[in-house]
Amino acid sequence: MIRKSAERVYLFLIFLFLYLPIGVLIVLSFNNSKSKVVWGGFTLNWYKKLFSNSAVMEAFYTTIFISLASAAIATLLGVLAALGIDAMKKHGQAVMLGATNIPLLNADIVTGISMMLLFVRFTRLGMNTVLIAHITFNIPYVILNVLPKLKQSSHTAYEAALDLGATPLYAFRKIVWPQILPGVLSGFLMAMTMSLDDFSVTYFTKGAGINTLSTIIYTEMRKGIRPEMYALSTILFLIAFILLLFMNFGPTARKEIQL
């Protein structure tokens, strides 16, 4: 009994540690006062201000575009890659997976810098370079979501389909694709979330003209915190919450909690 209560208290303390900061942010986004402590009544002013701030809105659109586009392209490349890797021999698979892990394990700052060096050499920094960078760090998440599904999917079922007269493409569409679809979807969602979350790589590859939400919050924060940022944070939090709820409890959910 004592142990149970102690466990509860512990859970609650960690919960507070994790959520109090965000909770305060959300409350302050509706606070009709610039103070961080005093409640000045409910207001949507900060949201209005946020939506009328063209720089922020532009960053918002850029972020959405980059995350959707990079996730889509990464999913396409990643699914193809997973299919290819799955057909490789053990040694080839190990090499490919090792290489796939590089962007996951490498420090973000080094990934960002290395790509910046490349881009500056051959082109100009801008939307395209951010997009390429995001695709690059997104592909591994797609592969790591799809490959296990491919391994689980039964090769004999695919062969049975061929045996029953299906063309390889038809067999893929009717047999393999439905089995890996959950992995493809969760790979896509994960890629999107990683892209939304990224700061370091974007920071080094974006050039002067454009901003994503992460980089604009960074710039704003260096100047000091304005309450619009609370409103922006609240919106970002809700987007992440809904995406994740869908990822973990939606139709594509895996048994283990997603990374």
Partner 1 sequence: MSKLKRQLLAGPYILWMAGFILLPIAMVLYYAFTTTSGSFTFLNVTSITFSVHLKALALSLKLALLCTIICLVLSYPLAMILNHMKTKSQGFIVFIFILPMWMNFMLRILAWRMLLSNNGIINSLLGTLGLPAIDILNTPTAVVFCMVYDFLPFMILPIYNAMTRIQTDIIEAAKDLGAGNITIFFKITVPLTMSGVISGIIMVFVPALTSFAISDLLGGGKVLLIGNVIEQAFMQEYNWNLGSGLSFVLMIFVIASMALMNSRGDDQGAGVL
Phi, psi of 42 (to 5 degrees): -80, 140
Check if the beta carbon of residue 103 is closer than 8 Å to that of residue 136: yes
Nearer to partner 1 by Cβ, of 44 and 225: the residue is 225
Distance CA 31, CA 39 (A): 6
DSSP 3-state assignment of 214?
A: helix
Instruction: Give the number of residues in contact with partner 1, rule: CB under 8 A.
Output: 89
42-101: contacts with partner 1 (CB under 8 A): 77-78, 80-81, 83-88, 92, 96, 99-101
Member of 1, 2, 5, 17 binding partner 1 (CB under 8 A): 17
CB of residue 113 vs partner 1: minimum separation in angstroms?
Answer: 6
Member of 44, 94, 110, 157 binding partner 1 (CB under 8 A): 110
Kindly give the interhelix angle for 177-197 and 127-152, rounded to the nearest 10 degrees. Answer: 150
CB of residue 41 vs partner 1: minimum separation in angstroms?
Answer: 18
Member of 56, 59, 71, 217 binding partner 1 (CB under 8 A): 217
165: left (phi over 0), alpha (psi -120 to 50) or beta: left
DSSP 3-state assignment of 56?
A: helix
Nearer to partner 1 by Cβ, of 103 and 183: the residue is 103
139-198: contacts with partner 1 (CB under 8 A): 139, 143-144, 168, 172, 193, 196-198
**Cα dihedral sign for 146, 149, 155, 158?**
negative
Member of 64, 72, 118, 181 binding partner 1 (CB under 8 A): 118
Member of 1, 2, 107, 208 binding partner 1 (CB under 8 A): 107
207: left (phi over 0), alpha (psi -120 to 50) or beta: left
CB of residue 54 vs partner 1: minimum separation in angstroms?
Answer: 20
